[in-house]
Amino acid sequence: MYKYYCFNAIAECGLANLSEDFVPVSDAKDADGILVRSAALHELEFGKNLKVIARAGAGVNNIPLDRCAEEGIVVFNTPGANANGVKELVIAGMLLASRDILGGINWVQENEEDGNIAKDAEKAKKAFAGCELEGKKLGVIGLGAIGVLVANAAQHLGMDVYGYDPYLSVESAWKISRGIHHARTVDEIYSECDYITIHVPALDSTKGMIDADAISLMKDGVVVLNFARDVLVNSEAVVDGLVSGKIKHYVTDFPTPEIAGVKGAIVIPHLGASTAEAEENCAKMAVKEMRNYLEYGNIKNSVNYPNCDMGYPGDNKRITLLHHNIPNMIGQITGVLAKDNMNIADMSNKSKGSYAYTMIDVDSDIPESVKKDLEAIDGILRVRILN
Ligand SMILES: NC(=O)c1ccc[n+]([C@@H]2O[C@H](COP(=O)([O-])OP(=O)(O)OC[C@H]3O[C@@H](n4cnc5c(N)ncnc54)[C@H](O)[C@@H]3O)[C@@H](O)[C@H]2O)c1
Ligand SMILES: O=C(O)[C@H](O)COP(=O)(O)O
């Protein structure tokens, strides 16, 4: 029996894929698995039984990844599952920044009692005129699941699109339309583009990347879109840019007290992934990842441990070990099994940064003493026996 706890509402169609071996609990401390969206887990003390956190979404800056790795907790996200929802909102954001749709709608609401509104609208409309996206230059920083979709969609709208991503994955490279220009430096995006949209994770290396220096390189009247994370921009620099007119509009999915009321800021309350489709995709993927790990020890889409998949163990018994990525771990682990005369039927070892994962299938039952001996090896963080 596995216990799980949901920190946010997780779409029912995903939870429906949990078998009867999974029961919800009312206290996260009792859980084997946690499902979460944006709830902040940094301050949470994890229970001893917690083995997995599945983030139904992309960004994992709400989860203490290193602490989880050290406590033997595998963290998953759901790459690409909400990318289309975000892409569509980014396109909407570009349109809202180009045409004064919001100003026009507000005018109509303010004049709803005007019996002559049809005629008056024809006089008023010049105040809300805008420009078109076609032919304008768009810079996309970060060409992952979302950035690629935004770049390709913008190209279909007739924009001249530049993409920048020094860590571009092969998977993304296959998807990028060949009409997208390859920007070799981020400065090229800053200096060339009329619209700049940022789709990178919040990391130490990306926090505050849109700062006063970056903005000083941008064209006058640039539109900056941030549907990734608030911390990617230096708020003070963006506010200064809006006040001076250097930035025409800052369109963001992340309201903060500094930005919310500033003229020129178009602020949305984190709605990028709030579509039925995105919520369902994310919930299904997160549940699948959590189940596959708890039931079979397989890791797919982890952000703090390597991917490692040995499928279904069949008649074999499975041992899984989370450990530090240091020399002689395999020697010590197999040494324990040899001491107990156990026969290894299949085995896999993968590493990611400072952490590694070993899966071993054996063709006999695994005595409790083996688990204890494995746990005693220096550098082992968690041992599971999946009988
Ligand atoms: N508004 C929302 O509701 C919403 C929804 C999903 C994701 N997000 C945010 O958007 C981010 C991106 O999502 P995704 O699904 O595209 O993630 P992803 O991991 O598929 O793509 C991120 C891309 O950024 C690139 N990158 C990393 N550092 C970079 C740098 N310094 N310069 C340029 N590129 C860099 C990576 O190589 C990768 O290709 C997430 O981390 C999350 O914070 C927001
Ligand atoms: O990183 C993400 O996936 C998005 O920011 C969506 O967050 P949400 O699941 O809280 O809407």
Assess contact for 247 and 220: CB atoms under 8 A.
Answer: no
Counting ligands in written order, which one lies closest to the CA of residue 196?
1
Query: So what's the pLDDT on residue 77?
Result: 98
Q: Is 318 a catalytic residue?
A: no
Counting ligands in written order, which one lies closest to the CA of residue 83?
1
CA–chain centroid gap for 64, Å, is: 14
146 lines ligand 1 (CB under 6 A): yes
Assess contact for 284 and 13: CB atoms under 8 A.
Answer: yes
Q: Partners of 321 in the beta sheet?
A: 358, 383
Q: How far is the CA of 141 from the centre of ligand 1 (A)?
A: 9
Written as six digits, the tokens of 193 are: 């583009």
Catalytic residue (one of 88, 258, 277, 295): 258
* Cα–Cα distance for residue pair 198/207, rounded to 1 Å: 12
194 exposure class (CB count in 10 Å sphere: 0-12, 13-18, 19+): buried
Query: So what's the pLDDT on residue 87?
Result: 99
Assess contact for 28 and 44: CB atoms under 8 A.
Answer: yes
131 vs 125, 215, 254, CA distance in Å? 14, 22, 25
357-367 confidence digits (pLDDT tens): 999 999 999 99
Q: Which atom of ligand 1 is nearest to the CA of 201?
A: 41
Neighbours of 197 (CB within 10 A): 28
Query: So what's the pLDDT on residue 387?
Result: 73
Q: Which atom of ligand 2 is nearest to the CA of 37?
A: 9
Angle at 142 (CA atoms; ends 138, 145), nearest 5 degrees = 105
Q: How does strand 222-226 pair with strand 247-252?
A: parallel
Q: How far is the CA of 105 from the centre of ligand 2 (A)?
A: 28
> Given the structure tokens 């309350």, which residue do they identify?
269
Q: How far is the CA of 53 from the centre of ligand 2 (A)?
A: 15
Structural domains in the chain plus CATH codes: 1-82+274-305 (3.40.50.720), 83-112+129-267 (3.40.50.720), 310-387 (3.30.70.260)
* Three state DSSP letters for 10-54: CCHHHHCCCCCCEEECCCHHHCCEEEECCCCCCCCCCCCCCCEEE
- With the most atoms of ligand 1 within 8 angstroms of its CB, the residue from 164, 182, 200 to mutate is 200
> Given the structure tokens 């900056």, which residue do they identify?
224
Query: So what's the pLDDT on residue 209?
Result: 98
Nearest CA to 33 out of 15, 48, 53 is that of 53
> Which protein residues are within 6 Å of ligand 2, measured from CB?
37-38, 57-59, 82, 270, 272-274
Counting ligands in written order, which one lies closest to the CA of residue 187?
1
Mark 274-304 as b/e (b = at least 16 C-beta within 10 Å): bbeebbbbbbbbbbbbbbbbbebbbbebbbb
* Cα–Cα distance for residue pair 233/11, rounded to 1 Å: 31
Q: How does strand 195-198 pair with strand 344-352?
A: unpaired
Q: How does strand 355-362 pair with strand 344-352?
A: antiparallel
Catalytic residue (one of 67, 99, 181, 270): 270
Assess contact for 282 and 14: CB atoms under 8 A.
Answer: yes
pTM score, two decimals? 0.97
Q: Which atom of ligand 1 is nearest to the CA of 209?
A: 31
Q: How far is the CA of 56 from the centre of ligand 2 (A)?
A: 8
Q: How far is the CA of 75 from the centre of ligand 1 (A)?
A: 17
Angle at 39 (CA atoms; ends 35, 41), nearest 5 degrees = 85
Q: How far is the CA of 337 from the centre of ligand 1 (A)?
A: 42
Q: Which atom of ligand 2 is nearest to the CA of 82?
A: 3
* Cα–Cα distance for residue pair 350/227, rounded to 1 Å: 33
> Given the structure tokens 């004049």, which residue do they identify?
111
| Weakly modelled stretches of the chain, pLDDT under 50 | none
Q: DSSP H helical segments within 71-126, as ranges? A: 83-98, 101-110, 117-124
